[in-house]
Amino acid sequence: METILANMEAMSLCMGRTEEAGAVDSPSVQRDFVDVVTCHSMQVLVANYDNGSRAQHEQSISQFKLRKEIDELKAANRELRDAGIRMAAANVRLAAGNKKLIAENERLTFDNEKLGEENEEQHVRIAQLDALVGILWSTVFEFDEESVKLNEETAKLKRENDDMKETNAAAQVEIDDLKKDVKELIETTFNPLMKRVVIDMSRKTVIKLTYEFLGLPTRHLPDWATFIAEERFKTKDALLAVVPKETFIHLIPELDLGLIYDDMETRRLANAVAHQATRKQLERMASSEPDMSVRRLWDRLAMFSTQ
């Protein structure tokens, strides 16, 4: 509207100036002039309106873009504010973590100081161990020399041992032959002799002859052997009354005990305990009396017990 009023005012001023100049002489001229001016004013008005609408439209678009940018900036600000809050919380946690790390660093520093002291002690110990190793190396060299000598002696002893094995093998053959001879001697000579002797001899005489035959000194006769020196083996009951059958079996395990104890139970007992009991008794006797005859008796009975 302001543009229309300005155009009408310009047209009035123009008409007044024309009349003053005497240019308008007739109504038709004035009418044509008015039409021209009015048409021009309308064109100017339309042009101004189009320009204003376009400018207003562009301004609206600009405002819309600005509002959109403002909204985006507000959203970005909110995100930044939230991020700032999260960063503040993270900073609080980091501060607490830093305090823990500081305390841990202090503890590690203290531990490092202690380790440094221990390292110094270890260096001292290492130096001592180095010295000890040097001594040990010198000792090892000495031991090497002695080891060479010992190896030579060991080889020599091994050769001697091999020779002894051969000798022992030969001796074992002789021992086996001796076992056969002794067994044959007992079966052919000793048992028949005792068959004749036991019938009419005192208990002490039988035991004494047994000791002498086996090569055992008679001073090892037990005390009960002299208790009834003149008693004779008249009956089995009389014998059992003075001598326990286990004791007699232990003393003469190689005899034909059926001559003295004629029952089967006694024979089974003799066969069961003779060797074991004799071995134990003679072991005690041989250990307490280092007499050659006792040793010889033990060796002889040891051969019997392996039959």
Q: Pinpoint the alpha helices (H) of 2-26.
A: 2-21
Distance of CA 221 to the CA centre of its chain: 64
Out of 23, 51, 83, pick the residue that ends a domain.
83
pLDDT greater than 50 at residue 233: no
Out of 52, 83, 114, pick the residue that ends a domain.
83
- Residue 209 domain flag: yes
Range 47-64 average pLDDT: 71
**Residues 279 and 305: beta-carbon distance below 8 Å:** yes
Among 35-44, 87-96, 230-239, 270-279, the minimum mean pLDDT is found in: 230-239
Q: Between 64 and 276, where is the model more confident? A: 64
Among 72-76, 147-151, 264-268, the minimum mean pLDDT is found in: 264-268
- Residue 145 domain flag: no
Report the pLDDT value the prediction gives residue 114, as an integer from 0 to 100: 87
Nearby residues of 251 by Cβ (< 8 Å), 6 or more positions away: 207, 210, 222, 278
**Residue 44 domain boundaries:** 2-83
Range 59-69 average pLDDT: 83
Out of 21, 48, 83, pick the residue that ends a domain.
83
Range 283-289 average pLDDT: 54
Residue pLDDT, tens place only, 203-219: 555 556 555 555 555 55
Query: pLDDT class for 307, splitting at 50, 70, 90?
Result: very low
Q: Between 70 and 43, where is the model more confident? A: 70
pLDDT, the chain, mean: 64
Q: 190-194: which pairs have CB atoms within 8 A and are 24 or more residues apart?
A: 190/254, 190/255, 191/255, 191/256, 194/255, 194/256, 194/259
Query: pLDDT class for 277, splitting at 50, 70, 90?
Result: very low
- Residue 37 domain flag: yes
Q: Of 278, 219, 212, which is closest to residue 249 (Cα–Cα)?
A: 278
Report the pLDDT value the prediction gives residue 140, as an integer from 0 to 100: 74
DSSP string for residues in 169-220: HHHHHHHHHHHHHHHHHIIIIIHHHHHHHHHTSBHHHHHHHHHHHHT--GGG
Tokens for 65, please give them. 């873009």
pLDDT greater than 60 at residue 120: yes
pLDDT greater than 50 at residue 183: yes
- Residue 74 domain flag: yes
Among 45-59, 180-194, 278-292, the minimum mean pLDDT is found in: 278-292
Range 74-93 average pLDDT: 88
Q: Between 108 and 243, where is the model more confident? A: 108
Q: Between 120 and 231, where is the model more confident? A: 120
- Residue 140 domain flag: no
Residue 243 to residue 210: CA distance in whole angstroms:
16
Report the pLDDT value the prediction gives residue 203, as an integer from 0 to 100: 52
Percent of the chain clearing pLDDT 90 (strictly above): 0
Report the pLDDT value the prediction gives residue 132, as an integer from 0 to 100: 84
- Residue 88 domain flag: no
Query: pLDDT class for 53, splitting at 50, 70, 90?
Result: low
- Residue 155 domain flag: no
Domain count, the chain: 2
Report the pLDDT value the prediction gives residue 258, as an integer from 0 to 100: 43
- Amino acid, single-letter form, for residue 262: D
Task: Give the number of C-alpha atoms closer than 13 A to the C-alpha of residue 189, restricted to the C-beta side.
Answer: 8
Residue at token pair 């052997």:
225
Query: In this structure, what DSSP letter does residue 232 have?
Result: B
- Residue 240 domain flag: yes
